[in-house]
Amino acid sequence: MIEQYVLALQEVDETQVATVGGKGAHLGALSRIDGVHVPAGFCVTTNAFRRIMAEAPTIHDQLDQLSRLKPKDREAIRTLSAEIRQAIEGIVLPDDPAAAITRALTQLGERGAYAVRSSATAEDLPTASFAGQQDTYLNVMGLAAILQHVSRCWASLFTERAVTYRQRNGIDHRTVHMAVVVQKMAFPQAAGVLFTADPVTGNRKVASVEASFGLGEALVSGLVNADAYKVRDGEIVDKAVATKRLAIHALPTGGTKEQAIDSERQEQPALTDAQVVRLVQLGRRIEAHFGHPQDIEWCLVDDDFHIVQSRPITTLFPIPAAGDRENHVYVSVGHQQMMTDPMKPLGFSMWQLTAMAPMHEAGGRLFVDVTQRLASPASRAGLLELVGRGDPLIRDALETVLDRADFVPTLPGAGPGTPPVSGASAPIETDPAIVTELIERSRASIAALRRDIRTKTGPALFDFLLEAFQEHKRLLGDPQSMQAIMAGMEATWWLNEQLQAWLGEKNAADTLTLSAPNNVTSEMGLALLDVADVIRPHPEVVAFLQGVEDDGFLDELPKLAGGAEARDAIEAYLDRYGVRCVGEIDITRPRWSERPTTLVPVILDNIRNFEPGARNRRFEQGRQEAEKKERDVLEQLRALPDGERKAEQAKRMIDRVRTFIGYREYPKYAIVSRYFVYKQALLEEAERLVQANVLREKEDIFYLTFQELHDVVRTNQADEQLIHRRKDAFRSYQSLTPPRVLTSEGEGIAGAYRRDDVPTGALVGLPVSNGIVEGRARVILDMAEADLEPGDILVTAYTDPSWSPLFVAIEGLVTEVGGLMTHGAVVAREYGLPAVVGVEHATKLIRDGQRIRVHGADGYVQILP
């Protein structure tokens, strides 16, 4: 077989990424679209790259070394990648590829000027753009110079930046090859970029154009401020003409040069308004061809637009599929469930099947469509009140959408009788026996599920699970359970509002909920103190745990003095709480039972930071503080006008909070307990599929929806390509930040705090747990990397119940996501930790080790000198 070393752009389309790289494939496809002008050229294929790599066998050893490095090993990456580049540039091009390039160049015109551009096989993909990772050389003249720059493009596959980018995206260096695009040089009056969707807001209906004089390199490299335009529905809706002092122009002898722009031209627009609108129309045609919003590089030559690159915009958050052309408004489920990471397909499909409300998936996250509720004035008020109590940023984002009067039309005829969003809690007696009975019913249901699922395999398992999901939803929607949850929440709101009005005290309920009974999440954190008490007297076990990396460590413990007791204590803890993990609403996440090493740093922190018996002391201290607060509040109220009535009302609500607020945490625990049973059964099924050579590995089932997995089990056939695409998509979703509110136009709306009572420079959030505390900020994104000292303040992205074991060792809490009644807030109040949640970008704005002051009652954080 004769290797093809060169292909003309007209011979190439987007199916040939493996041969001509992402840029080459896109340019070839662009050249076939009617009305789109692409400068003529050819691709030096990846066959030529593989040929020169074969000429230098030492490179393969260097690639082995490179693959073992981590992205943080910057100095080693810099050194090794430079050695590889030098080796590639030093290889003499073999005769066959050199002759093919010479022939192609002769046909185009050997004396012309050319752009020589890298085109890697892992760039310009829908899931990873690699924008700017490899090199482009402009205005290259003569065969020798072009061959030299082709070698430089090959070498640019191993720039430090490109190597680090691949490592961060989990891409093997050996699987990426480099093609090179050689194109006739365009000499434009103006150039720039066009985004067919707004890259800042994500709005798919708004195109963004940036333009400057001369070659586009001045703009791309940041040398000049560009003219900026926003275009919607064929009209310019925003325009800013910049002062452009520099341009890059091609030199007659080759290469480029920066040139000053004459002062009278500096503030002239690089494009006319009509040209901007025409450019956007061209961009829409390109977008329609590729089926994704595009990032397009263009040149204007004699009033004619030439397209020199088009790639997918990979930073946009996907839009939920609605199945119609109507406007929709979506609210993030993850911001309410304290899980803003992407979920794998099995995870989000299981949550959809077991949730009480219909949900939509986008970018591996779940969203609820609230359009109908916003359209009705009656349900709108209830929705805004409910989300506003929990997360003011979501309320503000929804109000931002409503301010655009034409986006959500108001439905006529919706009267005041529309049921409230919360599902209206009927009155419930304040009786601890109600909570006890609800917990017992839940435990009995989970025990029956464990018993009955054991005999189910194959398609029968899936039939059983579909029935189990109905029981799951029945328990979740149990009216008495909903009443108990709402009773605790409403009593909290009542106490905070009335005690502030009567006594001028903010968030008084925070102290009144300390050490509330029946809170499975706060009990879980305290119970790990007991585990530490068992291990602390055994130095050999402590030393062993400090070096633990393998999840099989529990089997090794009995070989040590005191190890059997340590193992029994940890296993007893896992028997009760091992169903939990970070991001636990995603069934595919590894549970503590599956990955017990996650708990080891927390156990070691507890051994170091606490004295024996800390659990009981902590709980009792909280209970006594709550009792004292109750006495003080009632005494102050009785001294007021109409004091006996106020004290009686407050006492009733305090009893209500103490009875029901702890139960707020139980339904989530029940859900994840059931999830673990489902997961174990599905993994046993996956093991059978692996044994039958239907799947490569058990975890492949995580990349299938529940229905798709059902089909695989039924047919004994799996689509490997689908699983591979899903893995790539999941990796790309991990780099996206989900918005709190998302519209069907793709616009993500963050919301803002409308407050003027915060000191200058403070980070604003939502006050969820009273008190002021100063301490060292510990920015921790992975619970398994916890290393806490007394007095530390935890700063993290979000805290679901699995983080509560860390709460016993900290003095305060700051999170990027959260609301008044989310799990982290409830547990922070029970532990008496000052806490501020919903602090946008807290983990980036606060550096690990900085001293900070958390104002838990006023909802802001100060970074101290």
Out of 472, 538, 823, 855, the active site residue is 823
CB count within 10 Å of CB 593 equals: 17
The runs of H, that is alpha helices, within 789-849 are 804-807, 823-831, 842-845
Selection from 621, 672, 656, 665 nearest residue 826 by Cα: 665
Spatial separation of the C-alpha atoms in residues 165 and 790, rounded to whole Å: 37
DSSP for 547-566, written as a single string: T--STTHHHHGGGSTTHHHH
Per-residue HEC secondary structure of 149-195 comes to HHHHHHHHHHCHHHHHHHHHCCCCHHHCCEEEEEEECCCCCEEEEEE
Query: Which single residue is written with the structure tokens 């905070």?
Result: 496
Strands 748-749 and 741-743: antiparallel
Exposed/middle/buried for residue 597 (C-beta within 10 Å: 0-12, 13-18, 19+): middle
Amino acid, single-letter form, for residue 790: P
Spatial separation of the C-alpha atoms in residues 476 and 473, rounded to whole Å: 5
Q: How far is CA 814 from CA 275, 535, 797, in A?
A: 49, 30, 8
DSSP for 688-712, written as a single string: HHHHTTS-SSGGGGGGS-HHHHHHH
Spatial separation of the C-alpha atoms in residues 312 and 732, rounded to whole Å: 13
Selection from 841, 810, 814, 840 nearest residue 825 by Cα: 814
- Is 166 in contact with 77 (CB distance < 8 Å)? no
3-state SS class at 633: helix
Strands 835-837 and 812-815: parallel
CB count within 10 Å of CB 678 equals: 21
Q: What is the CA radius of gyration of the chain?
A: 31
Q: Which residues, in sequence order, are bridge partners of residue 815?
A: 796
Q: Which residues contact 201 (CB under 8 A, 6 or more apart)?
A: 747, 748
End-to-end CA distance of the chain: 69
Exposed/middle/buried for residue 106 (C-beta within 10 Å: 0-12, 13-18, 19+): exposed
Give the sign of the dihedral formed by CA 721, CA 722, CA 723, CA 729: positive
- Is 626 in contact with 514 (CB distance < 8 Å)? yes
Query: Which single residue is written with the structure tokens 């970029």?
Result: 193
Spatial separation of the C-alpha atoms in residues 370 and 744, rounded to whole Å: 12
Spatial separation of the C-alpha atoms in residues 514 and 764, rounded to whole Å: 25
Helix (H), strand (E) counts: the chain: 31, 26
Spatial separation of the C-alpha atoms in residues 201 and 203, rounded to whole Å: 5
Tokens of 411: 């439905």
CB count within 10 Å of CB 219 equals: 26
> Does 710 participate in catalysis according to the annotation?
no
Selection from 86, 101, 228, 52 nearest residue 159 by Cα: 86
Give the sign of the dihedral formed by CA 58, CA 64, CA 65, CA 71: positive
Tokens of 561: 């003095």
Residues with active-site annotation: 823
